[in-house]
Structure 1
Amino acid sequence: MQETHGTSPSYVVHPIGVVRSPRSVPEHDRWGGVGSVIELDPERLRPEAVTGLEQFSHLEIVFHFHLVPETAAVTGDCHPRDRTDLPRLGILAQRLKERPNRLGVSRCELVRVDGLTLHVRALDALDGTPVLDIKPYQRLFQPEAETVREPAWLHAAMSRYYSL
């Protein structure tokens, strides 16, 4: 549903599920071994909504950073991970949770589908996180690139993100 506030439209999005995770407090690293469950809402989705999903190894999850207050959203720049040894970067050059719309996108491994319950691994979302959408990861939808350009500091700063 679209609403208009002044000249900018706004959108209302309803969660289709919720994450059940052993993590309830934000942590920067070691998400690789975290097993979670996505409980899909039977009021919003019929059981057939997951038909064929088990054929995919990975999912892309769109979710809301529900624990970040709207007033904490960064609209300019800041140090990634609050590390002053890293350069200040604009919020759109980072994947911080304090984004203007507080939306997250994460790729995770699909372990199994049990009705409207999805068992996943390496989903960096906290317990109670509202899930807005789920897409199967498909390499065909990734643009072909001979090289991917990333800043040098990124690998050092994020080297333990998915480590066990």
Structure 2
Amino acid sequence: MTDQLVHVVPVAHVVGGRVEPTDDHWGGMRSVIRVDGDRFTPEATKNLDAFSHLEVVFHFHLTDPDDVNPGARRPRDNPAWPEVGTFGHRNMRRVNRIGVSRCRLVEVDGLDLHVEELDAVDGTPVLDIKPWFREMGPRGEVRQPAWPGEMLVAYFARPSEG
């Protein structure tokens, strides 16, 4: 395999919500995905409000490229959890610093998509936006070790539930 450069231009940016990434308490967090008005018209979001959820692909722009670990490490550096290879994590310390999140679509206002529980911070470049289709979810039995459930118990809790 040879390295192939991929050029990606953000289609939108996150406005509002958190200003710094945190591990937990994204429940109820509201923000706006502002689609680039220089490249898109409101036609790009036509009938998007028929969907309840979006799948958002974004760039972890605040992650220090020197803080990326392509090997194995313990989730959140917790000694109680096993070492897991980089592709067994969903965090921001990824080689290409790409994140994927599913969030609730609250309202479409032209090129402003009001969302809830998008775990991306203010200023985050959004690379793609897709409606969530139930049919594209996992098929068959879903299997995972115990540690993600332990680690993410408060991920979508509201800050006051901390």
Measured against the shorter chain, the TM-score band is over 0.9
Helix, strand or coil at the partner of 2:56: strand
Gaps of 5+ in 2: none
Tell me the residue number matched to 1:162. 156
The answer to whether 1:105 aligns with 2:103 is no
Moved over 4 A (4+): none
Q: Which deviates more from structure 2 when the two are superposed, residues 31-40 or residues 57-66?
A: 31-40
Helix, strand or coil at the partner of 2:32: strand
Partners in 2 of 1:108 and 1:142 — Cα distance? 14
The answer to whether 1:51 aligns with 2:51 is no
Matches within 5 A, 1:1-16: 7-16=2-11
Tell me the residue number matched to 1:3. none
Gaps of 5+ in 1: 1-5
Residues 17 and 131, structure 1, Cα contact 8 Å, conserved in 2: yes
Deviation of 1:55 after TM superposition, in Å, equals 0.1
Q: Give the counterpart of 1:134 among 129, 144, 156.
A: 129
How high is the sequence identity, in percent, across the aligned residues? 47
Q: How many correspondences in the alignment?
A: 158
TM, length-normalised to structure 1: 0.92
Deviation of 1:46 after TM superposition, in Å, equals 2.0
Partners in 2 of 1:25 and 1:73 — Cα distance? 18
Please state which structure has a larger fraction of its residues in strand: 1
Matches within 5 A, 1:21-100: 21-100=16-95
Helix, strand or coil at the partner of 2:54: strand
Deviation of 1:89 after TM superposition, in Å, equals 0.5
TM, length-normalised to structure 2: 0.93
Residues 56 and 136, structure 1, Cα contact 8 Å, conserved in 2: yes
Deviation of 1:40 after TM superposition, in Å, equals 0.7
